[in-house]
A and B are shown apart, each in its own frame.
Chain A
Amino acid sequence: MLENAAVKPNRAPVQVGKWRRMWAKVRKQKMLLILLIPAILYYFIFNYIPMYGVLIAFKNFKMDAGDSFLSTILHSPWAGRFGLDHFKEFMEGPYFLKLLRNTFLLGFYSLLFGFPIPIIFALLLNELRNKYYKSFVQTISYMPYFLSVVAVVGMMKMVLSPSTGFVNVLLTKLGLQPIYFMALPEWFRFLFVSSSIWAGLGMGAVIYLAALSKVDGEQYESAVMDGASRLRQMWHITLPAIKPVIVITLILNMSGILSVGSEKIILMYNPLTYDTADVFSTFVYRRGLVELDFSFGAAVDLFNAVVNVIFLVTANYIARKVADESLW
């Protein structure tokens, strides 16, 4: 009893002191907090409000010119009893399987070929002994990274053009029929993946080269003393040095397997190649913003986003179990 009585009056001042200290800290750091205002507003308006806007996926949203975005969302009726009508329509619709297959295959091929090639390139680059030659090759390899996706697709279309493109001119000279690459569904995946590799090779290798630059040169020298061949040096010194980076990159890439972006495909595809080229994100764009079916488009987008988060968590879990490396 006595103890309680002694503690009780003590507690309140501590509480007041805590708030007072906090307030004093806020005042002391007020300039820092003022610096944060633009960012807090930016994130709130352009990231958190659209997150709330995801609600339209569960509603029948109609654009209302006289009303604000937020209250239009609130006033729109729910889509069906549980708000899941758009999801149901999409899953049962004719597009679902085709989009899933196309998205998965594009992501899978991008991973299968796009992931190892920069690693191999970095390993080979690491074998170049002449410093100037090495930096020359690197500089060339970075070039496509700086070109816009429009320019890359534009170049591809021009080089592959059926009448005047270089490739078809060559085919014709060899006595073969010209191929309408951009209009044939069976060529789409190859062109998409190979042009992405072309554009991303140099910068993709950078993170591995960064890890390689940390390897102690003495390790190689003592390996040579022990009679290790260059292949063995690569296997026992170089590869282990970049293993953590490889695992992390692999996790990131694997989790992105169904998040194939729309920017490049929209430039590349046309109704003739929809069969292999149409993916979730392009469908969202067409259905949502071209045909103005906002709610349905948002539902497909949300479905895709949820699947992506599941993939990321799973990939991270597997990596932690198997290789003891993880993002978090």
Chain B
Amino acid sequence: MVKDTTLSSRIISVVVHTVMLVMILVTLFPLLHIVATSLSDPKDIAKGMVSLWPSHVSVSAYKTILFENAHIPRSFLNSIIITCVGSVLSVVVTTITAYALSKNDLIFRPFLLTYCIIPMFFTGGLIPQFLLVKSLGMMNTIWSLTIPGLISTWWLMVMISFFKNFPVEIEEAAKLDGCGDVQTLLRIVLPLSMAGVATISLFYAVSLWNSYFSAMLYMNNYNDYPLQLILREIVLQSTLASQMAEEGNAVLAEDLSSSLTPESVQYATLFISIMPMLIVYPFIQKYFVRGIMLGSLKG
């Protein structure tokens, strides 16, 4: 590219780099603050001595979470189970549905497509959905968290367009060699479509891991809570304490916050809950970017 060294160009360069720097700082700052606080001595936190660097480093908060308090390891395990079961179900159903709907000569295709798309625009809403799950006897089971959101129509559409781009010749060759529809899908199409399958798997997995709302509605036993719901409890507790303080009830607030989870443990719980994502996201982000691009271009 031609080098451009005019004044306006340099001003743009300065603006661009400044904005990028600010963006990086603003994005990373809360994280670093959380990590630093979770590793600090509770007394220093109370005095407000922690910003980006832990003071009097101690891992006691993490010890409390991992060994003394059973809730967090258990809810971590619950979240893993929910995420695995839910994403396997969702991916299998989305893939086979998308494959069938991607066939242009499928009988009733326009009707079936419309049938799947209508729920994108009209839904029964929160309350009928809740009553339905309740009356199906799914409350307090893993199915209440995985089945109501089984197919995301958006990712179904992305997957359909993915299969449509699959070279027809290969499929026809497989048919000639005597493969049925299912065999063609399993042996020929799927192995060559792993990029698409990986994209939707990751989308389903991340949204299942991060969701708290359906668990809040459908799970009543503390032992079944996923990690996000435990985190919510802890976050709410701290609000309650600050609310008391705001209402001038300083003694009660002090009481509440000391009898509840210590600050460093709150920060550590938060960090533990986001850590899996922080570790995996640099490796999976390219699938998300591609998925969003695919979706935006087709939609």
Contact = CB atoms under 8 A, between A and B. Distances in A.
A125 to B, nearest CB: 8
Interface of B: 1-2, 4, 6, 8-9, 12-13, 15-16, 19-20, 23-24, 26-28, 30-31, 33-34, 37, 45-46, 48, 50-51, 93, 96-97, 99-101, 103, 106-107, 112, 115-116, 118-119, 121-132, 134-136, 147-148, 150-151, 156, 180-182, 185, 206, 209-213, 217, 228, 231-232, 234-236, 238-239, 242-243, 245-246, 257, 263, 266-267, 270, 273-274, 277-278, 281-282, 285, 288-289, 292-293, 296-297
Interface in A262-283: 262-263, 266-267, 270, 272, 281
B138 to A, nearest CB: 11
A258 B175 CA distance: 50
A159 interface: yes
9 contacts: A22-B107, A36-B112, A51-B128, A53-B132, A54-B124, A128-B16, A148-B228, A158-B37, A162-B242
Contacts of B285: 139, 142, 146
Contacts of A284: 125-127
A82 B148 CA distance: 32
B212 A229 contact: no
B267 A158 contact: yes
A230 B10 CA distance: 9
Contact of B125 (A36, A146, A305): A305
Interface stretch (A3-11, A27-35, A108-116): A27-35
Given A262-B126, A301-B126, 7 more contacts: A36-B97, A50-B132, A69-B132, A180-B245, A206-B292, A262-B213, A270-B239
B294 to A, nearest CB: 9
Majority secondary structure, A binding face: helix
Looking at B99, B124, B206, B292, which has the most chain A CB atoms within 10 Å of its CB? B124
Given A31-B182, A221-B1, A164 B245 contact: no
A305 B150 contact: no
A311 to B, nearest CB: 12
B104 to A, nearest CB: 12
Contact of B122 (A36, A51, A137, A183): A51
Interface string A146-163: 111111011111110111
A39 B230 CA distance: 32
Select the residue from A29, A52, A68, A203 with max chain B CB neighbours within 10 A: A29
Nearest to B92: A38
Contact of B27 (A25, A33, A143, A267): A143
A124 B124 contact: no
Contacts of B209: 148
A162 B235 CA distance: 14
A132 interface: no
Contacts of B51: 166, 169
A155 B124 contact: no
B295 to A, nearest CB: 9
A270 B121 CA distance: 31
Contacts of A40: 112, 115
